[in-house]
A and B are shown apart, each in its own frame.
Chain A
Amino acid sequence: MQVIRKTLTAGVAALALLATPAFGQATEQKTYEVLNLFGDAFDRVRSAYVEEVSDEALIGAAISGMLAALDPLSRFYTPDQYAALQSQSIRSYDGLGLEVTMDGGVAMIISAIDGGPGNRLGLMPGDLIVEINTTPVYGMTLDQTIAGLIGIPGTMVDLTMVRPGTDPFLASMVREFVAVPEISFSTQETTGYVRIPLFTDTSASVVSDTIAAIRQNLGDGLEGIVLDLRNNPGGSFDQAVEVASLLMDGSKIVSSRGNSDEDNQNWVADAGDLLDGLPIVLLVNGGTAAAAEIVAGAFKDSRRAILLGENTFGKGSAQTIIPMGDFGFVQLTTSHYYTPDGVSIDDAGIAPEIVVEPSLVILQTRNFPRRTEADLRGALDVPEEGADEAVEEIVAAEDPGPDYQLARAFDLLQALALLNKQAAAN
């Protein structure tokens, strides 16, 4: 069993030739040798493994391993797995409402979906999951990690978390049904606020209706909107492009580039802007990923919006599903997305023009205790009611306070509106 085959000895000789100037040929030769290595390993497993194994199982595992070496989203589907994938109409966030990716062998949170247990517990973009119910995540694929996170509502999950700069901590949560989060909006004086937590199949039409509703509420008084894409992990690419197109007047949105012509595409906005050029402040953070970053990149490079908040996640690749006869399907990362100015989204993320970290505002004005009748000497006794107040104070202390980033966005929008008015007056 320890015999080294002649083909391998020949392989060593061929490798030595690599140093010669015939580079193209040597590269081909090397490819051939590397494939031979696989054939040799396959052959030995078939002949020497303690049990009989099917060729299909061996090759399936080998192909999965080869694709997993590329990135977490490149993978192989058997025909059955592919059929199961097709029948899943809505992406399920059942469980903890966490969008994750793999990073350095462990799971990294991209964002915690609005209203999910992970979001309520305060899990943040960039937090690392190193253990799920004490099972190490290291060595798991993305699919295996997700399978460990999702589950029947009501069941418990303990996640061992690592957040840079803090001690590891345990996040214990009960899984629940996490509904696909919906677009919401509000108006405040002369401005509108639109929150898109995820791009779903209906996002473009809902955004269109939302803008119409805001315009109806505020009429001519509308001075601009705040578009909130914080913790939006992406979702539907087409819908994100469509939403960008609704608010941009005919400029470039995004392009994809890869090795093959079919991987190189451009998307351009239709003419016309639902807001007729009114200012937009776009809120982003580290949980703004993928499709949401395409909108952020398009708005930034075309100067359609001012970006405020924190650097986005940096996840902008496109996968192509390629059929492999009746063996199954390969899902392969074939292109990266680029902003109109040619910045790769699958890299450092989109930097906001105005960096605002989430902060707790502590007013510096001294807060003197209010004097009341009861404080005056010789005042009549008042019935004691103090016990409940102490409890309320503790609750209040846990409240993270007003949304500082959002407050800054509104301020900025008002300043922009003022500038617009001045420009119009001149």
Chain B
Amino acid sequence: MIMIKAALSSAIVAVWLVAAPTSAGAADPKSTYQQLNLFGDVFELIRARYVGEVNELRLVNSAIDSMLTSLDPHSSFMDAETYGAMQERTSGEFGGLGIEVRMDEGFVLVVRPMPDTPAERAGVEAGDHITHLDGNDVIGMALSDAVDLMRGKVNSTIELTVEREGVDDPMTITVTRAVIRMASVRYRVEGNAAYILITSFSEQTESGIKRAMAELRDELGDNFEGVILDLRGNPGGLLGQSVAATEAFLDRGEVVGTRARDPSRVQRYTARRGDLADGKPIIVLINGGSASASEIVAGALQDHQRALIVGTQSFGKGSVQTIMPMGVYGAMRLTTSRYYTPSGRSIQGTGITPDVVVEQAQIEPLFPKPPEIGPDGQEIVPFDTGPIDYQLSRALDLLHAMAVFQGGLAAN
């Protein structure tokens, strides 16, 4: 169905004249001016000849997005609507359902509902397939579009059509949106260690770490043996917060350096504050899901020999993006620099190699204890503590050993 026509409309003739002088030297790279002219000519051609309706802003938005996404996977364009939604979300006025989702066979799969959120209260379960949002088919939707539909004003409701394994008919679940605070830092005592899980680097990370360390050290008192910093599955976030997280455990030294294309534009971030763990051993847990800001923390603590890195190779994203507002039209997300660990290593593509490689594993005792029989002659079913986190248990063993060794050195 492709017809080749040779004629040019009047709009193109002007272009032709501009391009003509360079035709002689076809091998010469074309000037920036000529390239921009080419863009203008194609734009003009579409306006003149395209058979359907043309939305000029949509054309240019698509052109900018395509230009940015051709650079790398982290550069993109947010049009006015997308950028506005992003700003409203971060302002906390927008509500969500509190589910972690991914795409599965064209449907939205609930990975898990987060505890104490509207989704959990409404009965959404891990493994549910969401087929419709307010009656709209999710097939053919991008995950980001589906997520946008699930978000909305606080206290507004959304109707989810859900297919659940073992249930024949699709169910309709109505969920009332609420402000979902993604707790950046979670913490608890594990043995004699302060266990701190950072899920992503957001504005609350620095304060979260401080609160965690204060509470956990208070709880452990003199028994405090060290810190387990869990960065597994942490995709990154704000650069400044990763610097703050690193500073919390360093007394001095460079945390990270960023370099833009212009070699003179190097920026160094240096630790200033005191070490919240007072020099006690630290183990950082990483895996293939630890990226970007997580790798800054792991890389810096590794280079300063402040922490032992345990787990598996990290993701390897060593670039920094800048959000550049474009007036009323939206904003560009553009990769503007690479970062390097204090020793000058680039993380891009390679990631952080753990000092002690521990793959996640399922552990089954070779000689399980015989079941206990209660006084009534019935087998006592032990309280299910869930699967053992093998990497964490190895980290705890190592930390304990380091603490014992360090204690021995101190006693001598």
- How far is it, in angstroms, between the C-alpha of A234 and the C-alpha of B2 when the chains are bound? 11
Q: Is B405 an interface residue (CB 8 A)?
A: no
Determine whether B386 belongs to the interface, using a CB cutoff of 8 Å to chain A. Answer: no
- Among the 9-residue stretches A2-10, A216-224, A303-311, the one with 4 or more Cβ atoms under 8 Å from chain B is A2-10
The smallest beta-carbon distance between B347 and chain A, in angstroms, is 14
Query: Are the C-beta atoms of A37 and B60 separated by less than 8 Å?
Result: yes
Given A66-B42, A70-B46, are A322 and B8 also a contact pair (CB < 8 Å)? yes
B277 within 8 Å of A (CB atoms): no
Which residues of chain A from 26 to 85 have any CB-CB distance to chain B below 8 Å in the complex? 30-31, 34-35, 37-42, 44-46, 48-59, 61-71, 73-74, 76
CB distance from B309 to the nearest CB of A (A): 26
Q: Which residues of B contact A331 (CB under 8 A)?
A: 2
Report whether A259 and B67 are in contact in the complex, using a CB–CB cutoff of 8 Å.
no
Give the shortest distance, in Å, between B267 (CB) and chain A (any CB). Answer: 12
Q: Which of A15, A38, A138, A259 contacts B50 (CB 8 A)?
A: A259
Q: Does A200 contact B (CB under 8 A)?
A: no
Q: Are A326 and B140 in contact (CB under 8 A)?
A: no
Is A131 a contact partner of B20 (Cβ separation < 8 A)?
A: no
Are A41 and B67 in contact, CB atoms less than 8 angstroms apart?
A: yes
Known: A45-B334, A56-B35, A71-B52. A38 touches B63 (CB 8 A): yes
B64 to chain A, nearest CB (A): 5
Contacts of B325 in A (CB 8 A): 2, 4
Q: Which residue of B lies closest to A138 (CB)?
A: B142
The one of A40, A128, A315, A317 in contact with B140, judged by C-beta atoms closer than 8 angstroms, is A128
What A residues does B26 contact at CB under 8 A? 326
The answer to whether A320 touches B40, judged by C-beta atoms less than 8 angstroms apart, is no
Docked Cα-Cα span, A408 to B141, in Å, equals: 39
CA distance A390 to B154 in the complex (A): 63
B-chain residues with CB within 8 Å of residue A76 when the two chains form the complex? 42
* A12 contacts partner chain B, Cβ-Cβ < 8 Å: yes
- Check if B166 is an interface residue, CB within 8 A of chain A: no
- Asked if A258 CB lies within 8 Å of chain B CBs, one says yes
Kindly list chain B residues whose C-beta atoms are within 8 Å of the C-beta of A61. Answer: 66-67, 69-70
Chain A residue numbers with a CB within 8 Å of B41 are: 324
Q: Is the CB of A327 within 8 A of B3?
A: no
Q: Within 8 Å CB of B40, what residues of A?
A: 35
B60 x A35 contact (CB < 8 A):
yes
Residues of A within 8 A of B70 (CB): 57-58, 61
Residue from the list A9, A51, A65, A321 in contact with B67, Cβ < 8 A: A65
Check if B9 is an interface residue, CB within 8 A of chain A.
Answer: yes
Known: A105-B142, A160-B106, A322-B45. A49 touches B71 (CB 8 A): yes
B38 touches A160 (CB 8 A): no
Q: Is B51 a contact of A325 with CB atoms below 8 Å?
A: no
Contact among B9, B50, B142, B335 for A49, CB-based, below 8 A: B335
In the bound complex, do residue A56 and residue B332 qualify as a contact, i.e. CB atoms below 8 Å apart?
A: no
Of all chain B residues, which has the CB nearest A2? B324
Distance of A61 Cα from B75 Cα, bound (Å) = 13
State whether B326 touches A50 (Cβ < 8 A). no
Q: Which A residues are CB-close (under 8 A) to B337?
A: 50
Stretch of B11-19, B200-208, B243-251 with 4 or more beta carbons under 8 angstroms from chain A: B11-19
Is the pair A42, B67 in contact by a Cβ cutoff of 8 Å? Answer: yes
User: Is A374 positioned at the interface, with any CB of B under 8 Å from its CB?
Assistant: no
Contact with A along B328-362 (1 / 0, CB 8 A): 11001011111000000000000000000000000
Verify if B221 is at the interface (C-beta below 8 Å from A). Answer: no
Q: Which residue of A lies closest to B103 (CB)?
A: A136
A94 on the interface (CB 8 Å rule)?
no
Write the nearest CB–CB distance from B206 to chain A, whole angstroms.
22
Q: A262 interface residue, CB < 8 Å from B? A: yes
Q: In the complex, A332 Cα to B337 Cα: how many Å?
A: 37
In Å, the complex CA distance between A65 and B9 comes to 22
Give chain A residues whose Cβ lies under 8 Å from the Cβ of B142. Answer: 105, 138-139
Listed by A's residue number, 11 A-B pairs whose Cβ atoms lie within 8 Å are A35-B43, A45-B68, A61-B67, A61-B69, A62-B63, A63-B42, A65-B63, A258-B49, A322-B49, A323-B8, A325-B22
- Given contacts A160-B105, A260-B48, 17 further A-B pairs with CB under 8 A are A35-B43, A39-B36, A45-B334, A46-B32, A56-B30, A56-B35, A65-B62, A66-B66, A69-B58, A74-B50, A131-B106, A260-B9, A321-B5, A325-B20, A326-B22, A332-B49, A334-B49
**Sorted from nearest, which 4 A-B pairs have the closest CB atoms?**
A65-B66, A325-B19, A69-B62, A61-B70
Binding site for B on A (CB under 8 A): 1-2, 4, 8-9, 11-12, 15, 30-31, 34-35, 37-42, 44-46, 48-59, 61-71, 73-74, 76, 103-106, 128, 130-131, 136, 138-139, 160, 162, 168, 234, 237, 257-260, 262-263, 290-291, 315-327, 330-336
